[in-house]
Structure 1
Amino acid sequence: MTLVRCMDVSRTFGHGEQAVVAVHGCTCEVEPGARIAITGSSGSGKSTLLHLLAGLETPTGGVVDWPELTDRARDIAVVFQGPSLLPALTVAENAALAAILTGTSEAEADERAAAALTTVGIASLANQLADTLSGGQAQRTAIARALALRPRLLLADEPTGQLDTETGSHVLDALLAAADETGAALVVTTHDPAVASRFEDRWQMNDGRLVAPAREGVS
């Protein structure tokens, strides 16, 4: 069973002499329950690969398909490096928003959001406005927003990249715990070896090319 599969996928930005190939001929797949860290330096193509897995980017070569995901808007959730919350809404309203926008009733979305906020450890902040949050609290809210979709595939692009080490560790704890609780497959991009060490499967991007995925022990 495969949630998403890339087959000889490439992604080029621009045209002619200005063209930049961000991903070259990538073949990989993500199975249910996977815990994958995509590592690489800045500009290596790891975020572009994540966006291809999410369907946010269209490949310029090869094929991406989602054989087990019939409703990608609900089945796939993405946590970005910046939380992108709506400042005038409360934490609970932000957490429920994506579910509401994809067709979940407001009552159910609120219930899911409350459960997700509990999972990531910030239920006590439910009525606080988003623009009053710390960086770590805001990122946890973004994770809760993703979880309220009840996704089968959870993708996170440098989720600790803008946080200090301690806060980033707490956010990563919350992300892993949330994926464990919901059973979602989890794929994160990171340049931080400490973050990557928390994942059993580690893929490395190097100049747009995916090094053969390898399974290692979790530290």
Structure 2
Amino acid sequence: MNTAEVLVRCEAAARTYGTGANAVVAVHGATCEIRTGDRIAIAGPSGSGKSTLLHLLAGLEEPTTGQVTWPGQAGKPRPDTVGVVFQGPSLIPALDVVENTALPLVLCGQPEPSARRRALDCLALVAAAHLADKLPEELSGGQAQRVAVARVLAAAPRLILADEPTGQLDRATGRHVIDVLLAAADTLGAGLVVTTHDPRVAGRLTQQWSMRDGRLQPDPDAFSPSAPATPQGAEP
């Protein structure tokens, strides 16, 4: 029996956009648990529902039916419990890089000087400390993504959710970002979920799930030789 702490639980969670004939089901009744120590890759093509599932796990979207819960957490998750690395641009234009990185800490009540020191340490982890005083508009897509990773790590969350974190990075930088995410998850004792279409990225994580047409399921073509983990209630 797996005795690791459950960080988030989906029970038949579905997400539909629109109504009637225009309704689009992005996620069909996903049932799964993410625990401390989990290292999960969710593979699938664009439009398969990976990002929507991550948003449900993060509490950023409400399920249309079913439920998502965070055991031991009262209400919605905070940045220091669940951190999200978004696929698209997510930095606040008016704040420089170090201010963007420190923002989750400040929102959680940490004094600005200590939040800034923590932010600079995390920027160094992703080789972005030299960008500290730049505004988001001065960054390349890859640089902005590294800063987004540092911002999540700064809050030391229990669960890290990364949506295609290497999609805008060259191979070497992408490999380094995955190194940092894995090391941070180990240090924090956190769970880590990464969505990706890159077999090299998926192969770095110990469990593989897939999304196909909005359905969470075990992947018969898992990227690593180890057997994929099976989400609870997944369709065969």
- Tell me the TM-score normalised to structure 1 length: 0.89
The SS at the match of 1:92 is helix
Q: Which residue of 2 aligns with 1:45?
A: 49
How far, CA to CA, are the matches of 2:106 and 2:169 in structure 1?
28
Structure 1 unaligned residues grouped into runs of 5+: none
Identity score, percent = 60
Partner residue of 1:66 out of 51, 56, 70? 70
How far, CA to CA, are the matches of 1:85 and 1:18 in structure 2?
32
Q: Which residue of 1 aligns with 2:169?
A: 163
How far, CA to CA, are the matches of 1:158 and 1:123 in structure 2?
22
How far, CA to CA, are the matches of 1:63 and 1:89 in structure 2?
35
Q: Which residue of 2 aligns with 1:5?
A: 9
CA contact (8 A) 2:15 2:65 kept: yes
CA contact (8 A) 1:4 1:29 kept: yes
Which deviates further from its counterpart, 85-94 or 6-15?
A: 85-94
Which deviates further from its counterpart, 98-107 or 22-31?
A: 98-107
Per-residue Cα deviation, 1:79-111 (whole angstroms, up to 9, x for no partner): 111242234433221110122123322123123
Q: Structure 1 residues 93, 113: closer, same or farther in 2, change over 3 A? A: same
How far, CA to CA, are the matches of 2:186 and 2:88 in structure 1?
23
The SS at the match of 1:72 is coil
Per-residue Cα deviation, 1:164-208 (whole angstroms, up to 9, x for no partner): 333322322232233233222111111111111111011111111
Per-residue Cα deviation, 1:119-167 (whole angstroms, up to 9, x for no partner): 2233343334443333332211111111111211111111112233333
Which deviates further from its counterpart, 3-12 or 167-176?
A: 167-176
Instruction: Find out whether 1:36 has 2:40 as its counterpart.
Output: yes
Instruction: Find out whether 1:90 has 2:96 as its counterpart.
Output: yes
Number of residues of Structure 1 aligned to a counterpart in Structure 2: 218
